[in-house]
Structure 1
Amino acid sequence: MKVENIKEINTTALAYMGDAVYELAVREEMMKQGYYNVNRLHHIATLYVRASAQAKIIKTIFDELDEKEQALVKRARNRKSATKAKNADPVTYKWATAFEALTGYLYLTENQDRLSWLMERAIGIVKDEHINGRKETKEKAAGQK
């Protein structure tokens, strides 16, 4: 499904699509890593798809985006939201929505190379943070003994 005039689609709708695309990419990655227990899959996937992780991703890669992508991210981040975040502050939620909108945009414009790059970077950023976070927690625990 290629969308010719992407500007006709509001950023909330792009984020709606992007949410599904990113969720699928994360689930696929978890399966590739050998996670087959559904409860474990859900727990790990949650680390990747929560608003705080998505906000960190988009802030980390923002300078790597081209002008058109940056403009879309800003437009999505600044859009007045009709929904409220359940588990995130409003600013984090807006950044997360911007990440999802970019993902939806790349998917709907069939920019497969750029979408693949984004999914790899996104998953890598969260994975690095999760691994480093575990190391820091272990180091703190070891230091307290």
Structure 2
Amino acid sequence: MKFDQFQFLIDTAFGECIDDGPPQGKYKDIPVEQLHPLVLAYIGDAYFNLYVRTKLLSYEQNKVRVLHTFGSKVVSATMQAIAYKSLENELTDQEKSVARRGRNSKSTVPKSATVGEYRSSTGFEALLGYLYLGKNHERLSEIVEKAFTIIAREMTNTAKSNGENK
């Protein structure tokens, strides 16, 4: 990150906390439908990451490194793309539209995923961000629970076919 961008965030985000209480941010008055899809994906990524980490706590409480490594695989672009493709037919037209906007947003693709996987996962994250910021928590819970189950099945099947589960 460039120094001037970092300084801007310190001055605006932290400045509001110090001077006037909690930060309001520039997005507070924008309807969730009008937010940039990468903003929605940013929030959706954070939400799904927290959901997965919380879910994994019930299985392995002491080994933070194991939790982190495993959780990273669960929330990877590859796994999110698989979940999204499995859930796509269950989405409403509005949800598909939000995911499509996220999928079509220009962003840098990491080496850990294909372009298609990364675009699909960005669409999935944008959908989660849209539901979270739109306070549609019941639907959000439904989608992340189904996604987690799909990913768990996929990872289990992959481990079995690779002989890792012996």
TM-score range, shorter chain: 0.7 to 0.9
Q: Distance in 2 between matches of 1:37 and 1:92?
A: 29
Equivalent in 48, 55, 74 of residue 22 of structure 1: 48
Q: Distance in 2 between matches of 1:54 and 1:133?
A: 15
Q: Distance in 2 between matches of 1:135 and 1:3?
A: 49
The structure number with the bigger radius of gyration is: 2
Q: Give the match for residue 9 of structure 1.
A: 35
| Count of residues in correspondence between the two structures | 140
Q: Which structure 1 residue ranges, 5 or more long, are not aligned?
A: none
Deviations 1:62-111 (A, max 9, x none): 00001100111111111222x23241122211111001101111110111
TM-score of the aligned structures, taking structure 1 as reference length: 0.87
Segments of 4+ moved more than 3 angstroms:
1-4
Q: Give the match for residue 115 of structure 1.
A: 140
- Over the matched positions of the two proteins, sequence identity in percent amounts to 36
Larger helix proportion of the pair:
1
TM-score of the aligned structures, taking structure 2 as reference length: 0.77
| Aligned AA (2:66) | R
Report whether the alignment pairs 1:84 with 2:109.
yes
Q: Distance in 2 between matches of 1:86 and 1:12?
A: 19
**Two-structure CA RMSD over aligned residues (Å):** 2.2
Name the SS for the 1:34 alignment partner. Answer: coil
Report whether the alignment pairs 1:133 with 2:161.
no
Deviations 1:39-64 (A, max 9, x none): 11011101211110011111110000
| Aligned AA (2:157) | N
Structure number with greater CO (CA < 8 Å, separation at least 6) is 1
Q: Which structure 2 residue ranges, 5 or more long, are not aligned?
A: 1-23
